């Protein structure tokens, strides 16, 4: 484990600023292009290694900026090759990212597809009842540089090229809308991380106004809704946000998004034994998905330490999925990736904040 990061360093993170606003001490413009190349293409760890920049400029940058947004603390490797990363931010907070490989045998995906699940906040304020992210409370939004630094550092430590992103980690992405959009600017840019908008999915618990704001963005981003209940009664048990933005308003916002983007929406539906796995919920889900031409990801509940809910048995999962498929709704039952490495959002952070005697070894 690395030593705790000290918070006495008040230099801003250079990744939080647009390249045109960087202070280069009146250096000519071509130096800016060289710095962009060092940061985003060569992935330099320090300003000192940027040897084609003059020494006085490197010293100026070192005195004015921090280069790295986060540091790897530990990782966990899964038997299914899923990898989980715990990062420490500059002032000592922890966040998590999960690297998920393709599953060609199940989904027919390209074998070179590597999906990264990113965090957008330290903790979460929305209190979804199945999720570990909010168990330790919400602390703050991530900056734009901290958000996309997860991609840079996971690629550095895994040796894998990330080509698909899901903002489905710790936090509610649309509650950090401005920083999220600023991060996507860099992620999407040819000079930045060069990941196309069609390979970026934003998941939300149901912030209706922000779904409409996202629809008004010019990028062709994908939208996933953490639905988890097909009626207000059931969804409100699992998703407290449903009391502010009930299902009718959420579905209307999805209508708006689809009308603007002409893109299929995904409903994420975590199946929890005795809570939302009744077949009547499946029938209602067919109705909602058919109206929106949505597809559905069924996700058997991933057990979370500190929560008492359970995963349905295999027969219940199959019966639920059969109703969706018989209703001609595109549906997948998600392969249980990372079940052996606390892959549910926030679990590794909770263990770091409350250490256990058996420390986790770095396995990446």
Tens digits of residue pLDDT in 269-285: 999 999 999 999 999 99
Burial call 203-214: b when 16+ CB within 10 Å, e when fewer: bbbbbbebbeeb
Residue 341, pLDDT score: 45
In angstroms, the CA 45 to CA 152 distance is 11
**Is the model's pLDDT at 353 over the cut of 90?**
no
Q: How confident is the model over 248-258, as pLDDT tens digits? A: 999 999 999 99
Residue 6, pLDDT score: 53
What stretches of the chain adopt beta strand conformation (E)? 70-77, 83-89, 94-101, 114-117, 121-122, 140-141, 164-167, 200-204, 222-226, 266-271, 295-300, 331-333
Share of the chain above pLDDT 70, in %: 85
DSSP string, 202-226: EEES--HHHHHHHHTSSS--EEEEE
> Would residue 293 be called left, alpha or beta, if left means φ above 0 and alpha means ψ between -120 and 50 degrees?
left
Residue 37, pLDDT score: 98
* Domain 71-353, CATH: 3.20.20.70
Output the CA torsion sign for 21, 22, 27, 29.
negative
Name the average pLDDT for the chain.
88
Q: How confident is the model over 97-109, as pLDDT tens digits? A: 999 987 654 444 4
Residue 158, pLDDT score: 93
Please tell me which residue in 131, 268, 345, 356 is annotated as part of the active site: 345
Residue 136, pLDDT score: 73
Q: How confident is the model over 194-213, as pLDDT tens digits? A: 999 999 999 999 999 999 99
Q: How far is CA 314 from the centre of its chain?
A: 28
Q: How confident is the model over 31-45, as pLDDT tens digits? A: 999 999 999 999 999
Mean pLDDT value of segment 231-259: 97
Residue 32's alpha-carbon distances to 12, 45, 323, in angstroms, are: 18, 17, 57
Please tell me which residue in 20, 96, 117, 248 is annotated as part of the active site: 96
In angstroms, the CA 260 to CA 66 distance is 39
**Is the model's pLDDT at 79 over the cut of 90?**
no
Strand partners, 298: 269, 333
**Is the model's pLDDT at 266 over the cut of 70?**
yes
Q: How confident is the model over 85-99, as pLDDT tens digits? A: 999 999 899 999 999
Q: Is there a contact between 119 and 142 (Cβ–Cβ < 8 Å)? A: yes
**Is the model's pLDDT at 351 over the cut of 80?**
no
**Ranges 115-124, 132-141, 262-271: which has the least confidence:** 132-141
Tell me whether strands 164-167 and 114-117 are parallel, antiparallel or unpaired. Answer: parallel
Higher pLDDT, 340 or 227: 227
Question: Can 131 be counted among the known catalytic residues?
Answer: no
**Is the model's pLDDT at 133 over the cut of 80?**
no
**Is the model's pLDDT at 346 over the cut of 60?**
no
Going by the DSSP 8-state scheme, the letter that residue 13 receives in this structure is B
Where do the domains of the chain lie? 25-64, 71-353
Residue 306, pLDDT score: 72
Q: Read off the pTM.
A: 0.88
Question: Can 331 be counted among the known catalytic residues?
Answer: no
**Is the model's pLDDT at 173 over the cut of 80?**
yes
Residue 245, pLDDT score: 97
């Amino acid at each position: 484990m690395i030593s705790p990061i000290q918070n006495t360093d008040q230099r801003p993170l250079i990744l939080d600023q647009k390249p045109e606003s960087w202070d280069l001490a009146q250096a000519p413009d071509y130096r800016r292009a060289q710095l962009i190349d060092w940061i985003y293409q060569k992935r330099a760890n320090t300003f000192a290694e940027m040897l084609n920049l003059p020494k006085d400029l490197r010293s100026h940058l070192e005195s004015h900026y921090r280069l790295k947004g986060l540091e790897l603390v530990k990782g966990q490797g899964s038997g299914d090759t899923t990898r989980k990363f715990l990062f420490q931010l500059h002032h000592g907070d922890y966040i998590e990212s999960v690297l998920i490989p393709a599953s060609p045998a199940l989904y027919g995906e390209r074998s070179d597809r590597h999906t990264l699940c990113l965090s957008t906040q330290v903790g979460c304020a929305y209190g979804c009842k199945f999720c570990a992210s909010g168990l330790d409370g919400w602390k703050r939004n991530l900056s734009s540089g901290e958000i996309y630094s997860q991609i840079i550092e996971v690629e550095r430590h895994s040796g894998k090229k990330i080509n698909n992103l899901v903002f489905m980690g710790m936090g509610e992405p649309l509650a950090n809308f401005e920083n999220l959009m600023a991060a996507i600017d860099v992620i999407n840019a040819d000079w930045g991380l060069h990941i196309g908008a069609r390979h970026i999915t934003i998941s939300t618990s149901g912030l209706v106004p922000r779904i409409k704001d996202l629809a008004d963005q010019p990028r062709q981003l994908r939208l996933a809704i953490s639905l988890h209940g097909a009626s207000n009664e059931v969804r409100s048990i699992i998703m407290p946000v449903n009391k502010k933005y009930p299902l009718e308003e959420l579905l209307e916002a999805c209508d708006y998004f689809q009308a603007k983007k002409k893109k299929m929406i995904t409903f994420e539906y975590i199946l929890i034994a005795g809570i939302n796995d009744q077949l009547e919920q499946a029938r209602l889900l067919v109705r909602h998905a058919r109206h929106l031409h949505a597809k559905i990801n069924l996700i058997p509940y991933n057990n979370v330490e500190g929560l008492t809910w359970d995963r349905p048995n295999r027969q219940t999962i199959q019966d639920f999925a059969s109703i969706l498929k018989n209703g001609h709704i595109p549906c997948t039952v998600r392969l249980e990736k990372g079940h052996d490495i606390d892959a549910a959002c926030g679990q590794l952070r909770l263990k770091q904040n409350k250490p256990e005697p058996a420390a986790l070894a770095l396995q990446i």
